[in-house]
Amino acid sequence: MSDLQPAPTVQGSVSRRRFLKVTGGAVAGSSLLTMLDARQAPAQLRGTTLRILTWSHFIPAYDVWFDKFSAEWGEKNGVKVRVDHIPHLEIPARMAAEFAAGAGHDIILNNSTILARLYYKTLLDLTDVYDGLGKKYGGWIPAAKSPIEVEGRIYGIPMYYILLPMLWRKDLFEANGLKPPDTWELARVAARTLKPKGSPTGMAFSHCNDANLNWRSLMFSFGATETDASGDHPTIDSKEMREALRFAKALFDEGMTPEVFSWDDASDNRFLASGIASWIHDAISAYRTTESTNPPVFKNTFVGMEPAGPGGKRVSVSAPIVFLAWKFGKNPQATKEYLAHLVDNDKEGMIQSTGYNMPFLNDSAKKPMPIIGADPKLQVLQDFPKIVAFFGYPGPYTPQIQEVALQFVLPDIFTRVARGTSVDDAVKWGVGEYRRIFAKHKRA
């Protein structure tokens, strides 16, 4: 029947179907561009809910800002935003529960324990957001991808990382003719000199995150490595590792007291604030808190670059903070929009955290950085982005390394040596633990 045949079109004219396709595409494309440019959510986001699970930040003012910032974004976009804060150590258990239930928050923060590689099959692929932000802000610092990349895809948005620099007492160093602790050797000399005068040093030899971070910084600066580039093989059995262990033993014997075996993450803060410590290797929150608790200590405490190892190498192992999003989350579009908006405002976040949050994006890491760029004592922190590394260095941050860290295997190797086990025996024990954990993950 002739009326069922498509109507002949004149060359150069536009059919109705083609018109709809082209105009529809153009409208959708321009809407997306406008939306991304204005950070204004499309109409379909309105009336939806976004649930965010985050930690209780060490700087409480940051949480106040974060909650307000999230609520304002929600109001602007017609999205009901709910933010829940829990201690960061409880996040893995909460994630396990939400995974099992297949329901929960849309966005979950991970602090230090980054679970992207464990859950990636159920996580939202955020490669587009990551790449878009990278292009917009001059790329990400080299370490950024390590905890969140799986099989070439990105399953998290790095928000910030927490540095653990040297915090040293300039008054005590100068009074004793000591040089600033720019190398681990100088730090050891200072500890050896100041301990008999009632000012020992301290680095946790215990089951806490500081111990995981600090001893890795030391061993990597000594040239030791944790895994190979693939992340599949542990590499701690090395000459450099033994050297680092011997150094740690000497540092403990000469410059510390046995209390370091009992320390938690806040103990070195108190140690500095008490006015006893000659130096500690910790986040700047330790320095900040002395401002109100012990002003003379605050005045005399200076922040130093990561000490160099014997070969001049500096590696600063930091605690990464990233946001992950469930694939089963009810609001993937709002999730992406919100995360992009949050990263757009990471400079404000850094200000609100009083310089505690270090940015992952190159443009944000340019000098002068907010807060720390204006504070002469903290300016040195701006030189850290190029030496930042995470667990597993130089390999990626894998679930097996995660388990090694959660079981505190590396601090236990250092603890054994400090307590008198021979370096070879401690390394042998540690290698056994690493291999056992790696073998289990390989089988899985």
- How far is the CA of 192 from the CAs of 176, 238, 244, 368, 403, in angstroms? 11, 27, 17, 36, 35
Q: Does residue number 56 form part of the binding site for other proteins (CB under 8 A)?
A: no
Phi first, then psi: give them for residue 84, nearest 5 degrees: -110, 135
Q: Does residue number 271 form part of the binding site for other proteins (CB under 8 A)?
A: yes
Q: Does residue number 45 form part of the binding site for other proteins (CB under 8 A)?
A: no
Q: Does residue number 9 form part of the binding site for other proteins (CB under 8 A)?
A: no
User: Which is closer to other proteins, CB of 99 or CB of 356?
Assistant: 99
User: Which is closer to other proteins, CB of 259 or CB of 383?
Assistant: 259
Q: Does residue number 429 form part of the binding site for other proteins (CB under 8 A)?
A: yes
Q: Does residue number 415 form part of the binding site for other proteins (CB under 8 A)?
A: yes
Q: Does residue number 263 form part of the binding site for other proteins (CB under 8 A)?
A: yes
SS3 192: helix
Spell out the alpha helix ranges (H) of 39-177.
60-77, 91-101, 116-119, 127-136, 170-175
**Binds other proteins (CB under 8 A): choice among 214, 316, 331, 402:** 402
Q: Does residue number 293 form part of the binding site for other proteins (CB under 8 A)?
A: no
Q: Does residue number 408 form part of the binding site for other proteins (CB under 8 A)?
A: yes
Q: Does residue number 326 form part of the binding site for other proteins (CB under 8 A)?
A: no
Residue 412 Cβ vs other proteins, minimum distance, rounded to whole Å: 6
Q: Does residue number 373 form part of the binding site for other proteins (CB under 8 A)?
A: no
Burial class (CB in 10 A: 0-12, 13-18, 19+), 135: exposed
User: Which is closer to other proteins, CB of 186 or CB of 324?
Assistant: 324
Q: Does residue number 278 form part of the binding site for other proteins (CB under 8 A)?
A: no
Q: Does residue number 231 form part of the binding site for other proteins (CB under 8 A)?
A: no
Residue 432 Cβ vs other proteins, minimum distance, rounded to whole Å: 8
Q: Does residue number 74 form part of the binding site for other proteins (CB under 8 A)?
A: no
Q: Report residue 65 as tokens.
A: 């800002």
Name the strand (E) or helix (H) holding 272.
helix 267-273
User: Which is closer to other proteins, CB of 155 or CB of 302?
Assistant: 155
- How many residues comprise the chain? 444
- Closest by Cα among 276, 274, 279, 277 to 294: 274
- In one letter, which amino acid is 358? M
User: Which is closer to other proteins, CB of 288 or CB of 416?
Assistant: 416
Task: Tell me the C-alpha distance between 201 and 140, whole Å.
Answer: 35
Name the strand (E) or helix (H) holding 149.
strand 149-150
Q: Does residue number 422 form part of the binding site for other proteins (CB under 8 A)?
A: no
Task: Tell me the C-alpha distance between 317 and 163, whole Å.
Answer: 8
* Contact of 263 with 210, CB cutoff 8 Å: yes
Task: Tell me the C-alpha distance between 326 and 155, whole Å.
Answer: 9
DSSP class of 196:
G
Name the strand (E) or helix (H) holding 290.
helix 285-293
Burial class (CB in 10 A: 0-12, 13-18, 19+), 39: middle
- In one letter, which amino acid is 210? D
Task: Tell me the C-alpha distance between 403 and 409, whole Å.
Answer: 9
Q: Does residue number 179 form part of the binding site for other proteins (CB under 8 A)?
A: no
Of 4-12, 88-96, 363-371, 382-390, which segment contacts other proteins by CB under 8 A?
A: 88-96
Q: Does residue number 274 form part of the binding site for other proteins (CB under 8 A)?
A: yes
User: Which is closer to other proteins, CB of 227 or CB of 357?
Assistant: 227
Residue 444 Cβ vs other proteins, minimum distance, rounded to whole Å: 5
Q: Does residue number 398 form part of the binding site for other proteins (CB under 8 A)?
A: no
Phi first, then psi: give them for residue 304, nearest 5 degrees: -115, 160
Of 24-32, 51-59, 349-357, 436-444, which segment contacts other proteins by CB under 8 A?
A: 436-444
Residue 345 Cβ vs other proteins, minimum distance, rounded to whole Å: 31
* Contact of 315 with 217, CB cutoff 8 Å: yes
- In one letter, which amino acid is 191? A
Of 132-140, 343-351, 384-392, 432-440, which segment contacts other proteins by CB under 8 A?
A: 432-440
Q: Does residue number 227 form part of the binding site for other proteins (CB under 8 A)?
A: no
CA angle 126, 128, 134 (to 5 degrees): 100
Of 139-147, 311-319, 326-334, 402-410, which segment contacts other proteins by CB under 8 A?
A: 402-410
User: Which is closer to other proteins, CB of 38 or CB of 100?
Assistant: 100
The residue count for binding other proteins (CB under 8 A) is: 49
Q: Does residue number 258 form part of the binding site for other proteins (CB under 8 A)?
A: yes
* Contact of 362 with 138, CB cutoff 8 Å: yes
Q: Does residue number 399 form part of the binding site for other proteins (CB under 8 A)?
A: yes
Binding site for other proteins (CB under 8 A): 92-93, 95-96, 99-100, 113, 115, 118-122, 198, 200, 205-208, 257-264, 267, 270-271, 274, 276, 399, 402-403, 406-408, 412, 415-416, 419, 429, 432-433, 436, 440, 443-444
